[in-house]
Amino acid sequence: MTKNADLKRLEKKAWTSYHQDGLVDFFLGFLLIAGFLGYSAGDMGRILGPVLQLSSAGFLILSKKLITVPRMGLVEFGPNRRARKRKAALIATVAVLATVALLVLTLTGNVGWIRDNHTAFSILLGVGVWLVFSFFAFMQDFQRLYMLGALFAAAITLTELLDSPIPILVAGVAACISGLILLRRFLRRYPLPTEAELGSNG
């Protein structure tokens, strides 16, 4: 352990151990399923979809706090990791704002240019989504996000091209299944420590 590369690898190992719980897979799967419900539920869906999607973000934060931290323990990472986290959060904010802008354009009927170039738009949308996921995966050292991003992008592109929400539902269920498998493995590997085990060291 005399090389900086080894220390970086160790820091990365500590960081990635927090992503073994499958909660992000489950969150992304739920986002897609909420999108499917929003798409399928007619006028009510325009409210239902975003409400479910927003509440799933709350679910992710809460479940990290209630499932992951009590099993993995608490760690504060260094300034480099915090800076990367801030950059990733910035990109996520830009992506959310772009989605909202697109939604507003759709709701206000300003989508003529999309209809005229529908195939190109659908493919570009998928590529854009994958690039956002890839940037996030790179900044967060979270390899599985490349795959999940591809799943997300394919689902969105196919839904646009086929004008059917079924690809979103299929991708959502697939991501949720992946999340459940990982979560099951995580819970077995890291059982909740008892109060007696922790003693005064909490």
Partner 1 sequence: MTDDMGGIESLVNIDRLIHEPARLMIMTYLYVVDGADFLFLVRQTGLTLGNLSSHMSKLETAGYVDIAKKFIGKKPHTMLRLTEQGRAAFNEYRRSMERLLGELEIPDAAQTDQIEV
Binding site for partner 1 (CB under 8 A): 1-2, 7-8, 10-11, 13-14, 17, 71-78, 190, 193, 197-202
Structure-token pair, residue 6: 């080894």
Which residue, 180, 199, 198, is CA-closest to 70? Answer: 198
Least gap, CB of 136 to partner 1 (angstroms): 22
Provide DSSP, 101-138. HHHHHHHTT--HHHHHTHHHHHHHHHHHHHHHHHHHHH
Q: How far is CA 68 from CA 63, 71, 159, in A?
A: 7, 5, 33
48 vs 72, which CB is nearer to partner 1? 72
120 vs 198, which CB is nearer to partner 1? 198
Residue 165 phi/psi, 5-degree rounding, is: -80, 0
4 vs 108, which CB is nearer to partner 1? 4
Which residue, 163, 161, 137, 167, is CA-closest to 149? Answer: 137
Least gap, CB of 135 to partner 1 (angstroms): 24
Least gap, CB of 25 to partner 1 (angstroms): 21
Least gap, CB of 17 to partner 1 (angstroms): 7
> Quick one: DSSP state of residue 171?
H
14 vs 104, which CB is nearer to partner 1? 14
14 vs 100, which CB is nearer to partner 1? 14
Least gap, CB of 63 to partner 1 (angstroms): 17
